[in-house]
Amino acid sequence: MAVNRHADATAPLRSSGPLATWFGRHVSTAGGALSRLLKQPFASLMIVLVIGVTLALPAALNLIVKNAAAISGGWDNAMDFSVFLRQDQSLEQARQLGRLIEQRADVDAVTVIPADDALAEFKAQSGFGAALDQLRENPLPHTLVVRPSAQNTGDSMLLLREELSNLPETDLVQVDTDWVQRFHAILDIVRQGIVIGAVLLGAAIIVIIGNTIRLDIQNRREEIEVTKLIGASNGFVRRPFLWTGFWYGLFGGLLAVGLVVYGTFLLQAPIGRLAGLYHSGVDVLGFDLREVGVILGVGTGLGLVGSWLAVARHLRRIEPR
């Protein structure tokens, strides 16, 4: 009897393609590797702890440098020139000179500080108010605070200082930028040191994970021999060990982020009290999403590299007898 095919009948869809099969195998292998780690919690925890602490050291130092750079970003006024005028200069003359200097292309702004305001501020901040009240006249001159333009170079800053010093109305020009430049130079050195230390610690993580995978390979030697005997490829045998290294690196990265975040939380209160003593506010910066992603990526990357090197070296030596 003939069977008529309906015109609207459709062929059954394939349940899976090559990509779905590949993905399913990796998911299954990843789950198996994770399950194996959970079956030996103490040993796995020790390895993750070592990796986490090793990753947390450069991450914490980098966070310290990040906060120091953020704090130093508020020191732009340290680049200002304090132009102390001669005592015979009146306030109106000081204001006229300030307007004249402000017209220069290498100057952003000029602030005039009258002598009376300067003395009042000095009384309030120095603690010698009673002694200063005994003065018959104000010893402080009118002052111009000159903020150079951001486009200035080191040579143009020196030239501006020299020209301000040569003005007939000027008695003294004071600028203290050397310590700011030294501080930023120190931060650059610390950044380079962190990079070097991070590379060395990364190599240590690769060695730790590689040695752990090597021991795992030795413990599963008979299983690997049997698997190869029935025709399994090196890629198939290598896969669970790579996922083991991946989990070690991922959990180590998560632990590193948690340690640094918790340390930052503990330091917020004492740093806030210290800043309060100086009548200033300091916001402790933490990790952003990009930095968290970098730490996790570095951790998993080192885990994969360490496991790959161990497997590539020791797997070739295991062949079925």
Same domain flag for 58 and 199: yes
Q: Note whether 140 and 272 are same-domain residues.
A: no
| Residue 174 phi, psi (nearest 5) | -120, 130
Is the pLDDT at 277 greater than 80? The verdict is no
- If one compares 121 and 11, the residue with the highest pLDDT of the two is 121
Q: Are 115 and 75 in contact (CB under 8 A)?
A: no
Last-in-domain residue among 109, 142, 174: 174
What is the arithmetic mean of pLDDT over 62-73?
A: 78
- Do 121 and 93 share a structural domain? yes
Say if residue 50 is in the same domain as residue 139.
no
> Residue 12 falls within a domain, yes or no?
no
How many whole angstroms separate alpha carbon 293 and alpha carbon 311?
27
For residue 128, what is the domain's CATH number? 3.30.70.3040
- Report d(CA 108, CA 45) in Å as an integer: 58
pLDDT at residue 152, rounded to an integer: 72
Residue 49 has pLDDT above 90, yes or no: yes
pLDDT band at 73 (very low <50, low <70, confident <90, very high): low
Among the listed ranges 51-60, 113-122, 157-166, which one has the minimum average pLDDT value? 113-122
> pLDDT value at position 53?
94
Pairing of strands 170-174, 81-85: antiparallel
Q: Does residue 148 fall inside a structural domain? A: yes
Q: Which of 124, 142, 174 is the last residue of a domain?
A: 174
Count of domains forming the chain? 2
Q: Quick check: 216 pLDDT over 50?
A: yes
pLDDT value at residue 82: 86
Q: How far apart are CA 146 and CA 85, in angstroms?
A: 13
Instruction: Tell me which residue range forms the domain holding 295.
Output: 32-74+181-317
For 216, residues 6+ apart whose C-beta sits below 8 A from its C-beta are: 241, 244
Q: Is the pLDDT of residue 127 over 70?
A: no
pLDDT at 316: 73
Is 146 within the bounds of a domain?
yes
Tell me: do 263 and 115 sit in the same domain.
no
pLDDT at 319: 67
Average pLDDT, the chain: 81
Q: Which of these ranges, 26-30, 149-153, 287-291, has the smallest mean pLDDT?
A: 149-153
| Among 294, 314, 205, CA closest to 249 | 205
> Of 106, 141, 174, which closes a domain?
174
Same domain, 196 and 278: yes
Quick one: pLDDT at residue 243? 93
Decide if pLDDT at 214 tops 80.
Answer: yes
User: What integer is the mean pLDDT of 211-216?
Assistant: 90
For residues 187 and 67, the answer to whether their CB atoms sit within 8 Å is no
Of 206, 193, 8, 174, the closest CA to residue 78 belongs to 174
Residue 131 — φ and ψ, nearest 5°? Answer: -70, -40
Q: Are residues 161 and 58 in the same domain?
A: no
